[in-house]
Amino acid sequence: MTAYTPLPIPPAALKELRDSDDAAQPLRPCTAREDGIPLNCVGSPLRCCLRAIEPGERVALVSYAPLRRWAAATGADPGAYDESGPVFIHAGECGGPRPRETPGYPLARPGALFTIRRYDAVGRIAGGRLLKIPDDAEAGLDQAFREAFSHPEVALVHVRAVEYGCFQYEVRRP
């Protein structure tokens, strides 16, 4: 069992993103197809339920600003560290993460490169590290999160894919 809890995009934020995303764009849903038409997204991560997109699902690519939303809820001011980026979500209601068939962290394919980015309680970057997901992804991520939260100023961690810089999920101080 994982030592830390990966957090999907909260339901209230999903509801807002389905109206207008964090770049003020309307929802543009599409059906995921294996042939890549209209969008090559099968297998891409869904941030609403932390699993890969399956063929036939109605999804949307939206702009999401996770730090901005966390800061608004906590009174923090991330200043220039506020950023948004593209994430896939279900175009309609989603039941959130379902029980995993295999133990470990979601979206953690051995060999993938992730950035483990730390933020302090004010919303500023407090360091980070590159992590190549090892064969034992759970142990590798557990260690990375232990390291991150060993710094007392760290309030939360964002996990991002290196290739596109996409936000994967958030982990908060236990």
pLDDT in tens, 69-114: 999 999 999 999 999 999 999 999 998 887 766 668 998 999 999 9
Mean pLDDT of the chain: 91
**What is the model's pLDDT at position 101?**
62
In this prediction, residues 19-36 reach a mean pLDDT of 89
More confident of the two residues 3 and 131: 131
Whether residue 104 is contained in a domain is answered as: yes
Whether residue 6 is contained in a domain is answered as: no
CA distance 47 to 14: 10
Side chain identity, residue 52: A
The whole-angstrom distance between residue 42's C-alpha and the CA centroid of its chain comes to: 17
**What is the model's pLDDT at position 82?**
92
- Give the bridge partners for 106, in sequence order: none
| % of the chain with per-residue pLDDT over 70 | 94
CA distance 29 to 84: 19
Whether residue 163 is contained in a domain is answered as: yes
Return the SS3 of 125.
strand
Whether residue 28 is contained in a domain is answered as: yes
Whether residue 134 is contained in a domain is answered as: yes
Whether residue 27 is contained in a domain is answered as: yes
Domain count across the chain: 1
Domain that holds residue 46: 11-172
Whether residue 3 is contained in a domain is answered as: no
**What is the model's pLDDT at position 37?**
56
Whether residue 5 is contained in a domain is answered as: no
CA distance 55 to 73: 35
